[in-house]
Structure 1
Amino acid sequence: MKVASFKGRGTSQQPGNVYEKNDFVQEHMEGVDLPIYEENPRTKFIKINTKSALSVNDSPDLPLSYSINPYQGCEHGCIYCYARNSHQYWGYDSGLGFETNILVKANIIEQLKRQFEKPTYQAQAIMLSGNTDCYQPAESKFKLTKKVLETCLEYKHPVSIITKNSLIERDFELLKKLASKNLVHVYLSINHLDNELKLLLEPRTAIAGKKIEIIRKFSTAGIPIGIMVAPIIPGINTDAIPKIIKLAVKAGAKKVGYTVVRLNGHVKDLFHNWLLEHFPDRAEKVMHQIEALHGGNVNDSDWGRRLKGEGVLAQTISDLVQISIRKHLPKDAKMPAFDFSQFIGNGQTKLF
C-alpha cells in the first residue's frame, strides 16, 4: 500500500517492531481506533546512559574497528538508511519512530575517557559515527560530538568523521587543531546534486552545494577531507557520480569512496513505498536493479558484496567511479597518516 510521507520526514510509516509481541493497528477507518500519529510529530530527545562509548566491529569490509555514536535514531530521515533497523533494539520502529525518537547518550564522554584510561587500551582510529550521523540536528542542542572531538584532542587520539550535515562547520577551529597533529580525517557523504531529490531522499541533510563549500574551506585550512558517494542507487542518482567527484576534487577532496544501496530488514518496504510515492514510473525497475547488485536480493549481509555489489551493474558503477577518480583526482592525493604516537591514555600522567 502506498503511504504518503510527512513534510520534512523520510517516511510516515511505522512498521511493527520485530522484537515486540504486540503492535498498534488501525482497525476502523471511521475513527474508532486512531493511528499513533495523525500528523507530523515533534522530535523527542531521550537521554540514556551507555555502558561503553566505543562499538567494536570485526567486519572485513570496514576500514576501522572502533566507532562511536553519540546518538541513536536520526532526524535526517534518509529513507535508505541501514541503521533504521537497529532502532528496534530500543523499542521503537524503524520508520517514523527512527526519525522522531532520538536517544542521547548523556554519559558518553565519561565512558570514552574511562576507556582511553584503561591500561590495556591500544589507540586506533575511531569512526565518528558508524551508525547514525554525529552531526544530525540533535548535535546543535547537546554538542556531544564536539565534546568527543575535544576529548580526542585532549588525549591526542585519532578520529575519522563522516557526516551529511553542514553543522560540522561549527567545529572548524577544533578540527584545525586536530589536523595540525594528524589526528583527524573528515568525509562528507554526497550522493546527489539535485536539491529537489535531496528533499525526498534525505530531507534534513545539507544540500550538495553547501558540502562542496565546506570541502573547499576545510581543504584550504589544511583539514584533510574526502567524500563518500553513498549510497549509489541505480536509476535514481547514478548519473550524478562523475560530476559529484569532479566538483569535490576541484574543491580539494583528497579521497573518494563509494557504496551501493542495500535494503536490509524493514528498509526494503520503507524504500519500496518511497519509490511508489515519488518515482512510480520506475519503482519496480529500481528494485530489480538493486536485486541485481546483491545476488537476486535487495537484502544483503555478505562481506564485500553488501557495500559494492557484484555482477554487470556493479561493475558498471565501479568503472564509472574509477574513471572519474582517474580523470579528476591527482595521483599523489591522499589522506595523511594518523599519528598514534602522541596518545596519552593508558593511565599515563598528563604533563601538559
Structure 2
Amino acid sequence: MHKPNQTKQATARGRGAGYNPDIRFDRVSRASFDDGWDMVEDLPVLRTQVREESAKTIISTNRSPDLSFDQSINPYRGCEHGCIYCFARPSHAFLGLSPGLDFETQLTVKPNAAMLLEKALRNPRYTPKTIAIGTNTDPYQPIEKTREIMREILGVLSDFNHPLAIVTKGTLIGRDIDLLAPMAAKGLLRVGISVTTLDPEVSRKLEPRVPNPAARLRVIRALSDAGIPVRVMISPVIPALTDHEVEAIVAAAKDAGAVAASSILLRLPREVAPLFRDWLATHYPDRAARIMNRVRELHGGKDYDPTFGKRMTGQGVWAELQHQRFKQASARYGLDRRLPPLRTDLFAVPPQAGDQMALF
C-alpha cells in the first residue's frame, strides 16, 4: 500500500511534494495500490493548470499578534515554486484541492485584482495602512511573468501613493523596478527577499522552481542599487540542514546591499508535516530522524505548535541559541536595524475619467 492519493515520483519531477495527501474536508479517502500486474505504466508528467477566480474582494485582514501587518493581498492561490516547507499549503484544502502536488500544480489567479483594489481604495471610508503582498503565496511565482497581475496591482498602489510591503523569492520583482523605485523614494515601499540557503543543490530540492540563491542575491543588489530598501529573510531555518548557514547568508546579503535581516524557524502546520517527513525520507534519509527530533524539540514535542508567540520562534535551548546566533550575526553586519514605518500621509485618491474638474 502506498501513501494516500500518491502520484508516482517520476511524474512529479521538478515538484516539491511527492504526493497528494487527502483533503481534510472530504469524506472520501483515496489510495493507490499495486494491482498485481507487472506492467510499466507510462504516467503523464504533471503540468500546471490555471483557473480564473472572479473575486469579490481583494484586501484580506489579519489579526494575528505575530504579524506586523493587518491587511494583505494574495493575487494567486497555490504556488508553483513548490517549496516543500510552505506554511500556506494547508489553505489549498479550502478550495477542495490537496495541499500536496495540487498546491503546486492547480493554481488560481484573480484577473480582476487591480480593479477590485482601486474600488476599495476609492471608498471614502478607506483608511490607508500598509498592504503586505507575498505573505501567503508568492506574487512573483512563474505565472506572474505572463499574467502580470502583481504589476497591475503595483500600478494602482503607485497611483494612490499607498504604502506597500512585498515578500518574495522570485527574481521577477526586478522587472518592476520602474514602479517600485519611485515608491521607495517616497517612503512607501520595503521589500523582503527570502534566502533559505546558499547551497544551490539544497535549494533545488527544497524549493524546486525558485530562482537559485545566487540569482536572489543579484536581485537584492539590483533593488538596492535602485534605492529600494531590502530585508533578507532567512526563513525557514531548518535544523541540521540549513541552520549552519545563518551567518553566511547574513554576510552575503550585506554584500548584496540588504539593509536589514530577519529569521524564522521551520514550522510545519497540518498537512505540511507529513509532506515534509516524506520529503526528508526521499532526499535526506541519513538525517531525517535527527531533523524531526530537533523540530519536535522546538515545538514542545510535537511537529508543530500553533500557539501565538511560539509558532515562529520555537522554544527551548536550541531555539534560544539559534536566536542569539542570528542576533549577533545581524549586529556584526549592521543588519539589526529597525526600518522606519512606511508613510501613509501621502495617500491620495487620483482623479478618474468623468470626474468634474475643481473650480478656481
1:155 counterpart (141, 155, 160): 160
Query: In the TM superposition, what are the counterparts of 1:234-253 in structure 2 within 5 Å?
Result: 234-253=239-258
Query: In the TM superposition, what are the counterparts of 1:129-148 in structure 2 within 5 Å?
Result: 129-148=134-153
Show structure 2 runs of 5+ residues with no match.
Answer: none
Aligned to 2:219: 214
> SS at 2:311's partner residue?
helix
Alpha-carbon distance in 1 for matches of 2:231, 2:357: 34
Query: In the TM superposition, what are the counterparts of 1:279-294 in structure 2 within 5 Å?
Result: 279-294=284-299
Deviation at 1:71, TM superposition (A): 0.1
Deviation at 1:27, TM superposition (A): 4.3
Aligned to 1:21: 27
Aligned to 1:227: 232
Bigger CA drift: 176-185 or 322-331?
A: 322-331
Q: Does 1:338 align with 2:331?
A: no
1:268 counterpart (250, 273, 291): 273
Alpha-carbon distance in 2 for matches of 1:263, 1:101: 21
Residues 224 and 336 in structure 1, CA contact (< 8 A), matched pair in contact too: no
Counterpart residue type for residue 192 of structure 2? Y
Alpha-carbon distance in 1 for matches of 2:235, 2:57: 28
Alpha-carbon distance in 2 for matches of 1:121, 1:322: 38
2:205 counterpart (200, 206, 215): 200
Alpha-carbon distance in 2 for matches of 1:31, 1:142: 44
Query: In the TM superposition, what are the counterparts of 1:302-321 in structure 2 within 5 Å?
Result: 302-321=307-326
Alpha-carbon distance in 2 for matches of 1:60, 1:347: 37
Counterpart residue type for residue 312 of structure 1? V
2:183 counterpart (167, 178, 198): 178
Bigger CA drift: 338-347 or 231-240?
A: 338-347
Deviation at 1:206, TM superposition (A): 1.2
Alpha-carbon distance in 2 for matches of 1:165, 1:98: 17
Residues 233 and 260 in structure 1, CA contact (< 8 A), matched pair in contact too: yes
Alpha-carbon distance in 2 for matches of 1:209, 1:27: 42
Distance 1:148 1:351, change over 3 A: farther
1:325 counterpart (325, 330, 334): 330
Alpha-carbon distance in 1 for matches of 2:266, 2:35: 36
Bigger CA drift: 171-180 or 336-345?
A: 336-345
Show structure 1 runs of 5+ residues with no match.
Answer: none
Counterpart residue type for residue 340 of structure 1? T
Deviation at 1:351, TM superposition (A): 7.9
Alpha-carbon distance in 1 for matches of 2:17, 2:165: 30
Q: Does 1:8 align with 2:48?
A: no
Distance 1:330 1:13, change over 3 A: closer
> SS at 1:313's partner residue?
helix
How many residues in Structure 1 have an aligned counterpart in Structure 2? 349
Counterpart residue type for residue 272 of structure 1? R
> SS at 1:241's partner residue?
helix
Alpha-carbon distance in 1 for matches of 2:119, 2:62: 20
Aligned to 1:64: 69
Deviation at 1:105, TM superposition (A): 1.0
Q: Does 1:277 align with 2:282?
A: yes
Q: Does 1:103 align with 2:140?
A: no
TM-score under structure 1 length normalisation: 0.93
Query: In the TM superposition, what are the counterparts of 1:291-302 in structure 2 within 5 Å?
Result: 291-302=296-307
Deviation at 1:347, TM superposition (A): 9.4
Structure showing greater relative contact order (alpha-carbon pairs closer than 8 Å, 6 or more residues apart): 1
Alpha-carbon distance in 1 for matches of 2:133, 2:37: 45
Residues 220 and 258 in structure 2, CA contact (< 8 A), matched pair in contact too: yes
Alpha-carbon distance in 2 for matches of 1:184, 1:239: 31
Residues 118 and 345 in structure 1, CA contact (< 8 A), matched pair in contact too: no
Distance 1:246 1:185, change over 3 A: same
Distance 1:272 1:214, change over 3 A: same
Counterpart residue type for residue 271 of structure 2? H
Alpha-carbon distance in 2 for matches of 1:123, 1:139: 26
Alpha-carbon distance in 1 for matches of 2:292, 2:238: 10
Alpha-carbon distance in 2 for matches of 1:27, 1:214: 45
